[in-house]
Structure 1
Amino acid sequence: MTAATAPPASPARASARQWLILLGLAMAGLVVAGAALGAVGFAAAGPGLLNAASAALFAVAAVPYLLKDRLAPAVNVALMAAMALGVAGLRAANPQADVTALFLIAAFAPLRPPRLALPAVALLAVCTVNVLQLGSGQTAISLILATDAGAAFFFLVGVLLRTEREQRERITGLLREVEAGRDAERAAAAAAERGRMAREMHDVLAHTLSGLSLHLEGSRLLARNTGADPRVGETLEQASALARAGLSEARRAVRALREDQVPGPELLDSLVEQHRLASTGRISFTTLGVPAALPADAALAVYRTAQEALSNVRKHAPGAGVDVQLEWQPAGVRLTISNTGSAQAPHAGTPNRGTAQAPDGGFGLTGMAERARLAGGEVQADPQGAGFRVRLVLPLPVPQGADAPPAGQED
């Protein structure tokens, strides 16, 4: 089992951590400044040398201990022990030294792991200072009690800060679990609805198309056996092929709803072939660039956009030539379907950019635009000369840590 990655700190927690670190660094700076400006000061020999070395040791250990809150427990113990040794050296060099450094150790001991070892080191530092206070002739019990009381107070402050942080983390974890539960409920409801829709499509549409395909095939054979006009047989053959293609599409839709398999750019060849069978106009299909993996919603948007655009050509511009181009770019994928127009069905009333109702009263272009938006892209549908052009632009998935280029950036 792999270790769980720590969740990113919330803004409130980051702010609290920041002021706590700044306060600790300020206290460490006061310790060094007090040692330098005190009665002993810093010197190259004698108590001044011990005072300088102890202050340096304390500062060198305190800075990483305060700044890094995810060090290994053994490293934390070593740094805390070095800080305690520095406090003892400061006290030994100058019996009049204040106990700010000791209070800093007591306050931060509960905030780092391990929980038992660091408080034990802090307690040892307090006992060492008490011994030095007694050995230096300062036998006033009130001074020792005041030192111990101050260390205990700062230690309790650290415990309270740790408890508050742990409670906040528990609340954050509970909220995350509640949100995950809600997401699971929504996913289950969506899966149930997709299953219901898949069953309806299978029981109604797929069965109807299957029956239609059988009847058309029977009609084609009947026309051939009775010596009917060959054009009737050709028309019935095309209708039968379209029925079979529609049945395949219905089955693909059922699989997509059940999340078995989602059609994508790899099936554009089949759409082009279906159009070639159903239309008398020419059609070309070109692919540029290096194909890349697309999320399921983006892959389905590419397929459905091409399917709807080719269907619109057959309905509103029968016999028009069609050019289909799939271009893979570093920032995304671009699908362009353009036609040369048809005198039978002018495009003057065709909507722009998929925002209005399609000429046949449906909402095909609106569906294209909605699919594109859900996948993070956009659809443009505009007249082009006597014909019409539909262009879909979708972004490619961005690797973690990389900057995402604009989805619709042109070369």
Structure 2
Amino acid sequence: MTPSRQWLTPLGLAMVALVVLTAGLGGTGFATGGPGLVNFVAALVFAAAAIPFLIRESLPPGAYAALTGLMALAVVGMRTADPAGEVIALFLLAAFAPLRPPRPVLAAVTMLGVLAFNVLQLSSGHSALTLILATDAGAAFFFLVGTLLRREKEQRLRITGLLQELQASREAEQEASLAAERGRTAREMHDVLAHTLSGLALHLEGARLLAQSTNADTRLLETIQQSQQLARSGLAEARRAVRTLRGQDIPGPELIGSLLDQHRLVSNGAATYRVDGQPVPLPPAAALALYRTAQESLSNVRKHAPGADVDVELSWRPDTVDLQITNIGGGGTHKPATDPGYGLTGMSERADLAGGTVKAGPVQNGFRVHLSLPYALARDQQPARFPSEPPISGG
């Protein structure tokens, strides 16, 4: 309910009740026959027409015209039944007329009601001409009050619309600035990472050919080949990051398997991957949280527990999607949960952005990271914004 309706509508309903009350307490009053019955029916018709006129703002214009006509007839009926009655109903009719469309029609109906009321005043023989003029002046005054209230409401609605347009303009400006920053960062990443990794891949290819031509140790040749594959994978990841910055091709759970393939290139431990349940579409923030959590967890395994066996399980449940990465053995130690480092902190921040939670801690002879994303929350999230995304870290 708008601020004006918080007091205008109750006030209008109170005035309608006052009309019925004064009609019942007047000289004619309410009765089961004669003028009292006419007075009762007219007051009832006035209330029945005025209430929907006040509380409904979306009726067709023809409906408002019909309701105004009924109120005008009711005013004439109450005056006919009680020539000495109050003029509150007439003033209220004049105040209502400017509030609803079609305003020219409602104004014309109200004027006809005022003229009919004047005729009844003259025919009763109890009203002087000055009293008739006072009645007309009062009706004109209340019509002006209704007009001012309508214009105040229209002005307030225009101000509200302008404020909404201003807010939308500011948001569009921020989005444009963000898109420009993404483009600039993407170009810089491409220049630095892609060129560097491409050069590294070429040097490794030269080292591999040199090792082959000099009959070097086969272990050295295998290491060079693995390094070359890692350089190519890093180049593909850099290109994917550039596309992500430009709002394209955001990585998600469908690429977790490729992360395991990269992990196997540099780890002697076993790596298994299981998917349970039926995958469902996720918004970018949730999809990115799954991918980055798997990427960060595998990076932590290589750093803190080299050679450990890794088990990755992605479970699509009725209400949540769970990602669990567990490493066993490897002879290394993870940082304790009280000092998680930036990697685990980044996981938690991404999970929060997607409406989920991350739990990380030691298990028997190993370490486990568990990400849970509720569907109801994940579907309501907006795509992750670049400035809010935590940095990728290896620890």
- Would you say the 8 A contact 2:186–2:245 is kept in 1? yes
CA drift of 1:38 comes to 2.3
Corresponding residue for residue 219 of structure 2: 231
Q: How does 1:3-402 map to 2 (within 5 A)?
A: 14-343=2-331, 345-347=332-334, 349-352=335-338, 356=339, 358=341, 363-397=342-376
CA drift of 1:214 comes to 2.5
**After the TM superposition, which of the residue ranges 300-309 and 224-233 deviates more from structure 2?**
224-233
Note closer, same or farther for the CA distance 1:331–1:161 as it changes in structure 2 (3 Å cut).
farther
Note closer, same or farther for the CA distance 1:398–1:158 as it changes in structure 2 (3 Å cut).
farther
Q: Deviations over 1:229-251 (max 9, x none)?
A: 22222222222221111111101
Distance 1:184 1:397 in 2: 28
Distance 1:304 1:399 in 2: 16
Distance 2:96 2:312 in 1: 67
- Would you say the 8 A contact 2:325–2:370 is kept in 1? yes
Distance 2:28 2:377 in 1: 61
- Would you say the 8 A contact 2:293–2:371 is kept in 1? yes
Give me the TM-score of the superposition, normalised by structure 1.
0.86
Note closer, same or farther for the CA distance 1:329–1:25 as it changes in structure 2 (3 Å cut).
farther
Corresponding residue for residue 393 of structure 2: none
Distance 1:77 1:291 in 2: 57
Q: How many residues end up aligned between the 2 structures?
A: 380
CA drift of 1:167 comes to 1.6
- Would you say the 8 A contact 1:325–1:337 is kept in 2? yes
CA drift of 1:51 comes to 1.5
CA drift of 1:331 comes to 4.2
Amino acid at match of 1:299: A
Note closer, same or farther for the CA distance 1:115–1:324 as it changes in structure 2 (3 Å cut).
farther
- Would you say the 8 A contact 1:263–1:300 is kept in 2? yes
SS of the residue 2:103 aligns to: coil
Note closer, same or farther for the CA distance 1:337–1:399 as it changes in structure 2 (3 Å cut).
closer
CA drift of 1:197 comes to 0.8
Distance 1:19 1:370 in 2: 46
In structure 2, stretches of 5+ residues that fail to align are 381-395
CA drift of 1:135 comes to 2.1
- Would you say the 8 A contact 2:286–2:378 is kept in 1? no
Amino acid at match of 1:367: G
Distance 1:209 1:250 in 2: 9
- Would you say the 8 A contact 1:47–1:94 is kept in 2? yes
Q: Deviations over 1:102-125 (max 9, x none)?
A: 222222222222232222222222
Give me the TM-score of the superposition, normalised by structure 2.
0.89
The answer to which structure has the higher helix fraction is 2
SS of the residue 1:323 aligns to: strand
Distance 1:96 1:140 in 2: 13
CA drift of 1:382 comes to 1.6
**After the TM superposition, which of the residue ranges 86-95 and 107-116 deviates more from structure 2?**
107-116
Q: Which has the higher contact order (CA 8 A, sep 6+)?
A: 2
- Would you say the 8 A contact 1:294–1:397 is kept in 2? no
Distance 2:99 2:213 in 1: 91
What RMSD, in angstroms, separates the aligned Cα atoms of the two structures? Answer: 2.2
Distance 2:189 2:40 in 1: 83
Corresponding residue for residue 384 of structure 2: none
Corresponding residue for residue 409 of structure 1: none
Identity fraction in percent: 60
**After the TM superposition, which of the residue ranges 197-206 and 218-227 deviates more from structure 2?**
218-227
Note closer, same or farther for the CA distance 1:304–1:161 as it changes in structure 2 (3 Å cut).
same
- Would you say the 8 A contact 1:322–1:339 is kept in 2? yes
CA drift of 1:208 comes to 1.0
Note closer, same or farther for the CA distance 1:154–1:251 as it changes in structure 2 (3 Å cut).
same
- Would you say the 8 A contact 1:295–1:397 is kept in 2? no
Amino acid at match of 1:238: Q
Note closer, same or farther for the CA distance 1:167–1:270 as it changes in structure 2 (3 Å cut).
same
CA drift of 1:298 comes to 2.3
- Would you say the 8 A contact 2:326–2:368 is kept in 1? yes
SS of the residue 1:271 aligns to: helix
SS of the residue 1:337 aligns to: strand
